[in-house]
Amino acid sequence: MDSAKVRSTDPDASLKDAITVQRGGKFRRWIQASLPQFPEFNHIGFDVFSKVGNLGRHDHPGLFEICLIIRGHVTWWAKERMYDLRGGDVYFTWPDEPHGGLHELMHPCTIYWTTVRVPRPEEPAARSYLSLPEPESRELCARVHALPERHLRGAEKLQPYYEAIFEHMTSRSVLGVIQARAALQCMLATLVTLPLAGSKHGFVPPGITRTREFLDSCPRPWPSVAELASVAGMSVSHFHACFVKEVGMAPMEYAHRARLNQAQKLLSHANASVTDVAGKMGYCSSQHLAACFKRYLGMTPTKARKSAG
C-alpha cells in the first residue's frame, strides 16, 4: 500500500498544523487553534508570573476571555471599574471589551486563561453551539450572556476543565478535539453557576479572619508565620494552607500588601519622606521599602505617592 495515501487519509493529519502548542519553560504554556470542527475555541494558556510584568489596554474581538486566578493578587480593570482579584477568583471580559491591568501591570500570580466564542442565543451559531442540541445550546449561550458580574468565586471548580482542554488539545487528534469540546461544555455550564465574589462562599475559619485583622493593623515588629499560626490557633502547616486557600496568597505576602497600602496613604502627605514612612511601616530602610513597592505593586514609592494623590 502507498504510504502517501495512508497519510492522506489520516483523520488527525489536518490537525497537526491547525493546533499550535507552545511552552515557555516550566511555568508557561499555551495553545492556539483555528479549527472548522471546533470554531468556539481560540486560545488557552497557563502562566506563572514570578515578578511584575506588563498588561496594557487590549481587547478580544468577538471573544470572551475567562481567567482563573490560582495564586497571587492582581488588580485589573474593565469598563472604568477596578477589580481586586486573588487566588480562587474567576474573572471574565465580554467580547470587544477593553481591559487591562492597574498602571498597565501584571503582578506576581498564577493564572489560567482562555478566549472562546459564545454566540448570543438569538444568533444562528447558537443553534448547535459546542455540538449541543438546539434547546441546550441556546440555553447555555443565554446563561453565559446573562451573567450579572464578571468577578466570581470558584476557580478550583473550573481548573480541572482547563487542564482537560490542555491535555486533549495537545494530542492534536480528532478524539482530543471531541474531548476538549466536552470539557469546554462542562466548564461553561459550571461557570454560570458560580457565586459572585462579593457573596458569602461558605465557612471561613475564625482564626483566619482574626489573623487578617491582626495583619491589617501592621503590627511591629514583623510577626513570623509561627506567631501568626498562634494567633489563628492552628498548627503552622495547617494555618499556611488554610490562609492561602481562604485569602488567595501566602501570609507574608498579605502582610506586605497591608503595609504597602498603608505606606501609600502616608506618602500622600507632602511632608512625608520615604525614609520616615519605611521606619513607621517596619521596613529596615527606604531601599527595602522601595524594593517591596517594586516587587508587590510594580512601582516606586515616588510613583505610589503620585497615584495616591
The answer on 226 and 152 residing in a single domain is: no
The answer on 70 and 142 residing in a single domain is: yes
In a domain, 255, yes or no: yes
Please tell me the distance from the alpha carbon of residue 145 to that of residue 294, in angstroms, as a whole number: 38
Contacts of 202 (CB under 8 A, 6+ apart): none
What value does the mean pLDDT take over residues 182-211? 87
What value does the mean pLDDT take over residues 277-294? 88
What value does the mean pLDDT take over residues 232-256? 86
In a domain, 124, yes or no: yes
Query: Residue 246 pLDDT > 70, yes or no?
Result: yes
Three cell numbers written together for 285: 530602610
CATH number, domain containing residue 230: 1.10.10.60
Amino acid in position 165: I
For 167-182, the pLDDT digits (tens) are 999 999 999 999 999 9
Backbone angles phi, psi at 218, to 5 degrees: 50, 60
In a domain, 71, yes or no: yes
Distances (CA, A) of 232 to 223, 226, 252: 13, 10, 14
Q: What is the pTM of this model?
A: 0.75
The answer on 150 and 120 residing in a single domain is: yes
pLDDT band for position 1 (cuts 50, 70, 90): very low
Query: Residue 190 pLDDT > 90, yes or no?
Result: yes
The answer on 297 and 236 residing in a single domain is: yes
What value does the mean pLDDT take over residues 24-44? 91
In a domain, 1, yes or no: no
The answer for 12, left when phi > 0, alpha when psi is -120 to 50, beta otherwise, is alpha
In a domain, 4, yes or no: no
Please tell me the distance from the alpha carbon of residue 219 to that of residue 207, in angstroms, as a whole number: 17
The answer on 160 and 120 residing in a single domain is: yes
Contacts of 160 (CB under 8 A, 6+ apart): none
**Residue length, the chain?**
309
The answer on 297 and 158 residing in a single domain is: no
Q: Is the peptide bond before 219 cis (omega within 30 degrees of 0)?
A: no
In a domain, 22, yes or no: yes
In a domain, 2, yes or no: no
The answer on 186 and 154 residing in a single domain is: yes
Q: In terms of Cα–Cα distance, which of 40, 36, 35, 37 is closest to 117? A: 40
Please tell me the distance from the alpha carbon of residue 231 to that of residue 66, in angstroms, as a whole number: 37
The answer on 174 and 226 residing in a single domain is: no
pLDDT value for 3 = 47
Three cell numbers written together for 82: 477596578
pLDDT band for position 112 (cuts 50, 70, 90): very high
CATH number, domain containing residue 186: 2.60.120.10
The answer on 142 and 253 residing in a single domain is: no
Instruction: Decide which of 136 and 278 is more confident.
Output: 136
The answer on 34 and 160 residing in a single domain is: yes
Three cell numbers written together for 142: 443565554
HEC string of 202-226? CCCCHHHHHHHHHHHCCCCCCCCHH
In a domain, 254, yes or no: yes
Structural domain including 264 reads 206-308
